[in-house]
Amino acid sequence: MARIEQEKPAFTLVEVADDPSMDAMLLAPPLEPAKRRKGDIFRPGNGPMVQFQGVIKKYDGEHRGLDGVSVAINTGEFVFLVGPSGSGKSTFIRLCIRELRPTSGNVIIGGRDLGELRRSKVPYLRRAIGCVFQDFRLLPDRTAAENVAYALQVTGHSRQEVRRSVPAILSLVGLEGKEDRLPREMSGGEQQRVSIARALVNQPRLLIADEPTGNLDPETSLGIMDLLLRINRTGTTVLVATHDQHTVDRMQMRVIRLDDGRIVRDAEGGYNEDPGDTGEIA
Ligand SMILES: Nc1ncnc2c1ncn2[C@@H]1O[C@H](COP(=O)(O)OP(=O)(O)O)[C@@H](O)[C@H]1O
Ligand SMILES: [Mg+2]
């Protein structure tokens, strides 16, 4: 069987621990070539990181979540998926992690056609994708450090690895000194940073966030988006679903816009190209 060349990891946690400068670490290329990790299911040599081919998702056999979506997101891109409530953003994201299966069409992630992925491999898919949600989804009776440690423990890391990695990743997301806080003792922005740390700790090649700033004020939202952008600069592909126009306008990245389950615009820039632009494809 031909082994496909592996991508480099987004970062190595050793570097985080050894380098007190978060920015320097985030921007530094990994020192060591990636080793193939156990259970690594992506085949990054096989085209885009995310590819939808004519994807239709009907709920209840009738109601359309997605209505014929074809799009590709390449390795290393930072992409916003925008559109009004009900336009299909969450449907798109849930298809990427096989929480949903398309009614027709293909969803290909990291070179793997999810329609052909055995059920037993789905946990490996979800491990290869870091996920961040609007409501943080932290364990309420566990500290910040324990929430992150849990994600490492379930993937079989040793206690020593957990002890070394958790403080490093928490400082990476700007939570140094807050390791022992419970979720209720943290602000919304801090809780979201914990959830990003948890998503990152297994070094995913793809980070997907569904309305990560939906519960946050505008200033905190920009801080979270900035963190996601810096993670992207390490080589991690980042896909962010949001209807937060202010943040999208500030970032000026690729924007894929959904309306009624269809892509109506795919361009770099703001949420709308300019205030007069309705975002429609002519
Ligand atoms: N589980 C479901 N059952 C039926 N319809 C659903 C379900 N989830 C989403 N939908 C419908 O699919 C469409 C897209 O929803 P969604 O992907 O959640 O949009 P967004 O995340 O952009 O708000 C909406 O019309 C929504 O009502
Ligand atoms: Mg949604």
What the chain holds in terms of domains, given with CATH numbers, is 13-27+43-269 (3.40.50.300)
CA of 88 to the centre of ligand 1 (A): 6
Nearest CA to ligand 1 atom 6: 59
Instruction: Give me 109's structure tokens.
Output: 């992630």
Nearest CA to ligand 1 atom 5: 59
Q: Which ligand is nearest to the CA of 262?
A: 1
Ligand 1 neighbours, Cβ below 6 Å, are: 59-60, 63, 65, 83, 85-91
Q: Which ligand is nearest to the CA of 100?
A: 1
pLDDT-based confidence at residue 47 (cuts at 50, 70, 90): confident
Q: Which of 87, 99, 103, 257 to mutate to test the pocket of ligand 1 (most atoms within 8 A of CB)?
A: 87
Burial of 23 (0-12, 13-18, 19+ CB in 10 A): exposed
Average pLDDT value for residue range 208-222: 94
Backbone φ and ψ for 115, nearest 5 degrees, come out as -70, -20
Q: Are 252 and 264 in contact (CB under 8 A)?
A: no
User: Which tens digit of pLDDT belongs to each residue from 240-266?
Assistant: 999 999 999 999 999 999 999 999 999
Put the strands of the sheet holding 262-269 in their side by side order: 129-133, 206-210, 237-241, 78-82, 253-259, 262-269
The residue to which tokens 């259970």 are assigned:
39
CA of 65 to the centre of ligand 1 (A): 5
**Average model confidence (pLDDT) across the chain:** 85
Nearest CA to ligand 1 atom 16: 88
How much is the pLDDT for 252?
92
Residue 21 has pLDDT above 80, yes or no: no
How much is the pLDDT for 10?
42
Percent of the chain clearing pLDDT 70 (strictly above): 82
pTM of the entire structure? Answer: 0.85
pLDDT-based confidence at residue 274 (cuts at 50, 70, 90): low
* CA–CA gap between residue 83 and residue 155 (Å, rounded): 35
Q: Which residues contact 279 (CB under 8 A, 6 or more apart)?
A: 257, 259, 264, 265, 271, 272, 273
Residue 109 has pLDDT above 60, yes or no: yes
Residue 44 has pLDDT above 60, yes or no: yes
Residue 155 has pLDDT above 70, yes or no: yes
Ligand 1 atom nearest to CA at 83 = 22
Other CB atoms within 10 A of residue 56 CB: 15
Nearest CA to ligand 1 atom 24: 86
How much is the pLDDT for 216?
93
* CA–CA gap between residue 167 and residue 149 (Å, rounded): 10
Residue 165 has pLDDT above 80, yes or no: yes
* CA–CA gap between residue 159 and residue 156 (Å, rounded): 9
CA of 11 to the centre of ligand 2 (A): 29
pLDDT-based confidence at residue 117 (cuts at 50, 70, 90): very high
Residue 38 has pLDDT above 70, yes or no: no
Residue 148 has pLDDT above 90, yes or no: yes
How much is the pLDDT for 28?
38
pLDDT-based confidence at residue 62 (cuts at 50, 70, 90): confident
Instruction: Give me 240's structure tokens.
Output: 């962010």
